[in-house]
Structure 1
């Protein structure tokens, strides 16, 4: 079910099927018909979800156009007939069903949903889509995943996650008795690079460089960096900050959303952060002074943003990334720093001044292990325990 036969292109004139080839076509009585007056039909037979085979067709001003329209119609028709999953369903059909019914309407973050769709369509379907579900054995999946690991381990890891998700659906639909992807050897996490953060003197020097760079100040880059240094927020969260989430009296900034771009939707403010929970941060005096200055100078637009674009709309995270790279080109001493470095610097500073739990809370992490592994730089010299160890000296 959900498959079609050979597609044929057929020329017609006034409802009459023409005879000929190439650019020469005539009616059955021998009358030549100009190409511009011909209407084309693309036709084939399709097996519907009820098991019956039917003739389907689409029309166009050329054979190619008619076939394109027919293939589009077949895609829609195939989806309609694919909602019954069996062992003879192809993996590509299951993948489409999983994305449409499980991922798209889910409560996952926009970027997560887009990553699952991209990975499924660009890697899983081209690599395994032609297999029937009953052909998706552990050994076949194991071999494919191993091959993907050699190309790009991170893509292989997400691909395996997608396979597990879609084949779980096949199990629930009784198309499979067990999920073979769950027996595939897990893809090991890539070794994390050593966390590198800015020390206090470096932060002071960098803020001075930003404040004295006319091009950086013209695009508010210095103020944007100050918000990230004062809260540990992500760039998208800083760009989503609104004035009604800034309490200058209490010196509190509330992070309640982030800026994302979704295919087919465009750029918008997602009213949840990556961690799904809003966070309120008491901010230091340097950030309060900056926000007070901006509040005095600002004329809030329709979106009430603290860092609006030139047209008073949302700013792209990718635009800020590009602006930061341009700043680094003018100041090569900061080449190693990315916007994520500010978040790592905040995590490291709070861990040094308080503890790892405080750093995790500052960054909005549910577990401090993530903070320790990815956001806190290791000290060059360990803690001073000489008094304790001196006992060994007798």
Structure 2
């Protein structure tokens, strides 16, 4: 048998350690005494070839035949996984991928959303596309061909870029385990980044008009969309950070709001408040008067609830980011002139306004970016007219005096 596989499974009935004889629902001791079904213990057995090459017996038991066989299958699954944790050149890529996710990604300090993105890319793209290859078969040309197909045929450049990043990570593990001498994924041609969409921000007049529309839309008002937009415009925070805001982090006397966490949905588990922002550092913002007025009104109107949330759900719990996204789409359907606006537009509008009124470093600090280059590239709208340097440039128009 190959390493990590098992032989034929047999299931046998016993009573107090004595093997019974019979069939169906009629079983007897060797002496001929009939045994009631409820007293029988069923034992499922097979032989399994472990990672050291030795074949050993494995067994499991239950009060039913089916239960015993299922328990044995569960034990074999655990044993196979333990066996697969030894990575060699003959290991399949799908086994390495599982090992990488379980031992390197899941226990890491990466954000929950980042872990979920890595797992999704691995399970949806890497394993279906390359999982059957042995590590020794993961050549640069094979990986290159797969990435090219994902980009050009499947038209998934962003997914291919993330999948290639996952491939590099898991094959680095194979190198550290001495299964490979070099990481072939690191020689694959990088997937070029797609052209960034032009940053579009709201002008002051547009913000005033939009806030008026939100204030007069009954559905939007019942969903607190206007108040949410106000906190986004007052801080430049992300929607998940706004939904995680607690009253204990709001200082109405000093006009300060502290952003310390975000709302996250962990797939298959729960919705919870992650006690760090995307930038990992809490941020305090002095907020303008319109936001203070809104917060003062909400402090009198909103039941704090057990979670002390400023923007709770109707059940006083956490609100889903996806729920707010849906509510915003419905608002846009009722008001078609705002179809181009998403919750992220408000963050871009804040970045643009601060950059225009101060500078790019101030805008980066407002948005919580560690590098102003990110702010300039993704969050500041390019001015239609450049800066007024006419006085400086006028010097070129001088006329030399005649000799």
- Normalising by structure 2, what TM-score? 0.86
Deviation at 1:389, TM superposition (A): 2.5
Distance 1:212 1:40, change over 3 A: farther
Q: Which of the residues 288, 293, 314 maps onto 2:292? A: 288
Q: 1:7 to 1:328 in 2, by over 3 A?
A: farther
For the pair 1:300 / 2:313, whether they are aligned, the reply is no
Aligned runs of 1:1-394 on 2, under 5 Å?
A: 3-5=4-6, 45-56=47-58, 72-150=74-152, 151=154, 152-394=156-398
For 2:25 and 2:321, locate their aligned partners in 1 and report how far apart those are by CA, in whole Å: 56
Q: C-alpha offsets along residues 191-230 of structure 1, whole Å, 9 cap, x if unaligned?
A: 1110111111111111111111111111111101110110
1:69 and 1:341, CA in 2 relative to 1: closer, same or farther beyond 3 A? farther
- d(CA) in 1 for partners of 2:69, 2:379: 54
Q: Give the superposition deviation at 1:249.
A: 0.9
CA distance in 2: counterparts of 1:104 and 1:92, whole angstroms: 16
The 8 Å contact of residues 12 and 18 in structure 1, kept in 2 or not, is answered as: no
Q: How far does residue 350 in structure 1 lie from its aligned partner after superposition?
A: 0.7
Inter-CA distance 18–273: structure 2 relative to 1 (3 Å threshold): farther
Structure 2 distance, partners of 1:226, 1:372, is 23
- When structure 1 is superposed on structure 2, of 121-130 and 276-285 the one drifting more is 121-130
Question: Contact 1:43 / 1:57 at 8 angstroms: preserved in 2?
Answer: yes
Residues 59-106 of structure 1 deviation map (CA, whole Å, 9 limit, x = unaligned): 899999987765544332222112222222221111111111111111
Aligned to 1:269, the other structure's residue is in SS state strand
Distance in structure 2 (CA, Å) of the matches to 1:77 and 1:133: 21
Corresponding position of 2:30: none
Distance in 1 between residues matched to 2:339 and 2:62, nearest whole Å: 55
> For the Cα contact (< 8 Å) 1:11–1:18, is it kept in 2?
no
Distance 1:315 1:18 in 2: 61
Contact 1:10 1:17 in 2 (8 A): no
What CA distance in whole angstroms lies between the structure 1 residues aligned with 2:214 and 2:386? 33
* Cα distance in 2 between the residues matched to 1:66 and 1:335: 59
Aligned residue for 1:357, secondary structure, equals helix
Quote the Cα distance in structure 2 between the aligned partners of 1:289 and 1:119: 44
Distance 1:369 1:62, change over 3 A: farther
Moved more, 129-138 or 346-355: 129-138
Residues 378-387 or 229-238, more deviating: 378-387
Contact (CA 8 Å) 1:2, 1:82: kept in 2 or not?
no
Q: Please give the alpha-carbon distance, in whole angstroms, between the structure 2 residues aligned to 1:103 and 1:135.
A: 24
Deviation at 1:392, TM superposition (A): 2.8
Which residue of the partner structure matches residue 31 of structure 1? none
Change (3 A) 1:271 1:383: same
* Alpha-carbon distance in 2 for matches of 1:67, 1:135: 35
Looking at structure 2, the residues matched to 184 and 355 of structure 1 have their Cα atoms a distance apart, in angstroms, of: 39
Verify the 8 A CA contact 1:197 1:342 in the aligned structure 2.
yes
Alignment length, in residue pairs?
385
SS in 1 for 2:317: coil
Q: 1:322 and 1:40, CA in 2 relative to 1: closer, same or farther beyond 3 A?
A: farther
Question: Is the partner of 2:94 in helix, strand or coil?
Answer: helix
The answer to whether the 8 Å contact 1:7/1:67 transfers is: no
Deviations 1:23-56 (A, max 9, x none): x9999xxxxxxxxxx9999876432233222455
Provide TM-score, normalisation by structure 1: 0.88
Question: 3-state DSSP class of the match of 1:318?
Answer: helix
Distance across 1 between alignment mates of 2:395 and 2:211 = 46
C-alpha contact 2:261 2:277 (8 A) present in aligned 1: yes
